[in-house]
């Protein structure tokens, strides 16, 4: 009967096990992260990389945004922290994600641009970093790194719209990247991978048994499923190879974690330093670093309130003064990261030339929870910089167009990303 022609595995495989197998094959972020293949031993050109630093509380617009558009603008207060790098970056104003509102709750859309409002049934989509990692992350040991300064939330989402939990400890990241595994740990890792492959084998075998009972439409679905299984097994095989390969050696000392979660500027610097090493050793090419606000006072001279409280300043002069000290420090640390990239020479240039570094937020105005006029700073990546792209602050330009430009810079000639309408106007490749 027609009702029997379906994906019913109850006789041979429980639904729970089937979902586990399906998740392992198609969706689970951790297993997706076990998918690198060996990079080419001889690279023709330096690899292209993408880094996103996302801020959950925005940046105060009057302190960040230049008054003049174009290339001959006067640096703002915050931009004075990176004055030596202005030729390497583009400042974008008057842009946001179409159909995204909801204040803090729109945080998940920072890198996905998925439409969101409090009144809608929200389902997120894949973030820009994970889209890049899906296509190009197999060249490195880690397809991507998902990090946070002071929490486990992130701006990285899988193809199924699930948030990837962030790693918060710079020391653990350093150990994963550079501390050699013992032979026992390597064996355990390989065994876990083998177990993962056996799960896929079980799922495929059980599904194959009923294939002859299925109609044409369901057989096509099964064929797509088998293709996913086979592709996943190949990726697991590559991950198995990575498990026994030596990790890169670095001269840097392992970082010591800063326990005070309110010390956001110093914690950000520590993680950015590890991120630079990860990129420099080609351990990964795609990284996100998220920063949320804590309640305690930020340990900076002249600051006696928490970052989150200060971001909701209500134009109070003293709160704005303190917020300026905090945000200036955040921009300064971002600049230090860019300087490290710019100081690292590669073939025909520097690492900054081949690394697109984006700093942005879901909030254009943290105090009023406004998701319009998002702060956007883009550095490096092989674009023609040294400009302020000023769009309409009332009718915002679609920021997903920038995301599409970044995809094209990585050689992914796709027609759109999320709600993009094309590549970003005024942003040209060098």
Within a domain: 1: yes
Rounded percentage of the chain residues whose pLDDT exceeds 70: 75
Task: Please check whether residues 234 and 330 belong to one and the same domain.
Answer: no
Distance of CA 329 to the CA centre of its chain: 22
What pLDDT score was predicted for residue 216? 73
H-helix segments, 245-296: 264-280
What pLDDT score was predicted for residue 26? 27
Within a domain: 404: yes
Give 359-398 pLDDT, tens digit per residue: 999 999 998 999 999 999 999 999 999 999 999 999 999 9
Within a domain: 303: yes
Task: Please check whether residues 273 and 240 belong to one and the same domain.
Answer: no
Task: Please check whether residues 174 and 189 belong to one and the same domain.
Answer: no
Which residue did the predictor score with more confidence, 220 or 19?
220
Task: Please check whether residues 54 and 153 belong to one and the same domain.
Answer: yes
Task: Please check whether residues 264 and 241 belong to one and the same domain.
Answer: no
Residue with tokens 């590669």: 346
Within a domain: 273: yes
The answer to whether 138 and 36 are in contact (CB under 8 A) is yes
**Among residues 67, 299, 278, which one has the least CA distance to residue 172?**
278
Which residue did the predictor score with more confidence, 233 or 383?
383
- Domain ranges, residue 13: 1-32+182-246
Phi, psi of 420 (to 5 degrees): -65, 155
From CA 160, how far away is CA 126, in angstroms rounded?
7
pLDDT of 188 strictly over 50 = yes
Look up the CATH number of the domain holding residue 353.
3.40.720
| Tokens read off for 73 | 């603008």
Within a domain: 80: yes
From CA 346, how far away is CA 95, in angstroms rounded?
33
Within a domain: 8: yes
Within a domain: 415: no
Give 328-344 pLDDT, tens digit per residue: 999 999 999 999 999 99
What pLDDT score was predicted for residue 184? 72
Within a domain: 391: yes
pTM across the whole model: 0.78
Exposure class string for 262-290: b at 16+ Cβ within 10 A, else e: bbbbbbbbbbbbbbbbbbbbbbbbbbbbb
Task: Please check whether residues 55 and 191 belong to one and the same domain.
Answer: no
Task: Please check whether residues 158 and 106 belong to one and the same domain.
Answer: yes
pLDDT of 108 strictly over 90 = yes
List CB contacts of 354: < 8 A, sequence separation 6 or more. 46, 47, 48, 49, 346, 380, 381, 382
Task: Please check whether residues 104 and 242 belong to one and the same domain.
Answer: no
What pLDDT score was predicted for residue 35? 34
Give the model's confidence band at 262: pLDDT under 50 very low, under 70 low, under 90 confident, else very high.
very high
Task: Please check whether residues 395 and 294 belong to one and the same domain.
Answer: yes
Which region among 140-149, 179-188, 236-245 has the lowest average model confidence (pLDDT)?
Answer: 236-245
Structural domain count of the chain: 2
Q: What is the mean pLDDT of residues 290-319?
A: 93
| Tokens read off for 220 | 């096509």
């Amino acid at each position: 009967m027609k009702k029997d022609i379906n994906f019913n595995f109850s006789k041979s495989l429980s639904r729970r096990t089937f979902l586990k197998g399906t998740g392992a094959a198609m969706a689970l972020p951790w297993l997706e992260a076990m998918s690198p293949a060996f990079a080419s031993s001889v690279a023709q050109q330096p690899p292209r990389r993408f880094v996103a630093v996302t801020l959950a509380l925005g940046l105060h617009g009057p302190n960040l945004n230049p008054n003049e558009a174009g290339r001959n603008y006067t640096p703002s207060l915050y931009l004075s922290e990176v004055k030596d790098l202005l030729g390497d970056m583009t400042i974008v104003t008057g842009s946001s994600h179409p159909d995204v509102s909801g204040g803090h709750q729109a945080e998940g859309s920072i890198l996905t641009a998925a439409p969101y409002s409090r009144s809608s049934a929200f389902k997120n989509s894949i973030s820009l970093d994970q889209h890049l990692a899906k296509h190009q992350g197999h060249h490195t040991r880690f397809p991507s790194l998902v990090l946070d300064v002071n929490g486990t939330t992130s701006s990285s989402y899988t193809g199924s719209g699930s948030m990837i939990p962030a790693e918060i400890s710079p020391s653990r990241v350093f150990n994963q990247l550079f501390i050699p595994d013992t032979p026992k740990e390597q064996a355990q890792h390989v065994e876990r991978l083998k177990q993962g492959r056996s799960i896929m084998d079980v799922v495929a075998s059980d599904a194959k048994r009923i294939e002859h009972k299925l109609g044409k439409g369901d057989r096509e679905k099964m064929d797509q499923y088998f293709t996913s299984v086979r592709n996943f097994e190949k990726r697991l095989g590559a991950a198995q190879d990575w498990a026994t390969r030596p990790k890169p050696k670095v001269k840097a000392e392992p970082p010591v974690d800063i326990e005070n979660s309110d010390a956001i500027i110093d914690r950000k610097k520590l993680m950015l330093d590890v991120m630079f090493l990860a990129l420099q050793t080609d351990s990964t090419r795609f990284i996100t670093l998220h920063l949320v606000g804590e309640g305690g006072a930020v340990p900076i001279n002249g600051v006696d309130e928490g970052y989150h409280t200060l971001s909701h300043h209500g134009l109070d002069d003293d709160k704005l003064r303190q917020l300026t000290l905090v945000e200036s420090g955040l921009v300064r640390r971002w600049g230090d990261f860019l300087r490290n990239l710019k100081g690292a020479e590669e073939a025909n240039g520097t690492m900054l030339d081949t690394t697109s570094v984006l700093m942005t937020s879901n909030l254009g105005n943290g105090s009023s929870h406004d998701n319009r006029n998002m702060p956007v700073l883009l550095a490096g990546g092989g674009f023609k910089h040294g400009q302020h792209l000023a769009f309409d602050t009332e009718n915002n330009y679609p920021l997903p167009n920038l995301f599409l430009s970044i995809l094209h810079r990585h050689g992914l000639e796709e027609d759109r990303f999320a709600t993009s309408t094309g590549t970003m106007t005024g942003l040209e490749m060098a």
